[in-house]
Amino acid sequence: MTTVVTENCKDCRFTDCVTVCPVEAFHQGDDMLYINPDVCIDCSACIPECPVEAIFEEDDLPDGMEDWVDINENMSQELPQITETLEPLETADEKREKLGL
Ligand code: F3S
């Protein structure tokens, strides 16, 4: 099993999740992050850190979000690792408001 970043991260990329990861499993895309399932140890430490509730255990993914498992696996292979917090994207507050979170 792994932990998965989903849609709510897109256009936010708050990166609060990154520094609590003990194994540096996060990878950085232009508009969101992804978790490498081969590295993730499923500790769940990142889940409560995300202000927009974007991270789930694979087994707890809401219906319709199953595709994010493969997306995280594929994108994390292509993109560079991220190990430090960044400024959120400029669109982050607007997206968060839209989400009502
Ligand atoms: Fe994205 Fe949430 Fe991390 S918005 S970068 S999953 S803290």
Residues 52, 14 contacting (CB under 8 angstroms): yes
The CATH number, out of the four listed (2.30.30.90, 3.30.450.20, 3.30.70.20, 3.30.1480.10), of the domain defined by the range 3-87:
3.30.70.20
Task: Report the chain (101 residues): mean pLDDT per 10 consecutive residues.
Answer: 96 98 98 98 98 98 97 98 98 98 96
The response to whether residue 12 sits with its C-beta less than 6 Å from ligand 1 reads yes
Q: Please name the residue ranges forming H helices in the chain.
A: 67-78, 92-99
Burial class (CB in 10 A: 0-12, 13-18, 19+), 7: middle
Can you give the residue ranges of every domain in the chain? 3-87
Ligand 1 pocket: which of 13, 24, 90 to mutate (most atoms within 8 A of CB): 13
pLDDT score, position 12? 98
The response to whether residue 50 sits with its C-beta less than 6 Å from ligand 1 reads yes
Residues 12, 91 contacting (CB under 8 angstroms): yes
pLDDT score, position 56? 98
pLDDT score, position 76? 98
Element (H or E) spanning 74, and its range? helix 67-78
Count other C-beta atoms under 10 Å from residue 90's C-beta. Answer: 8
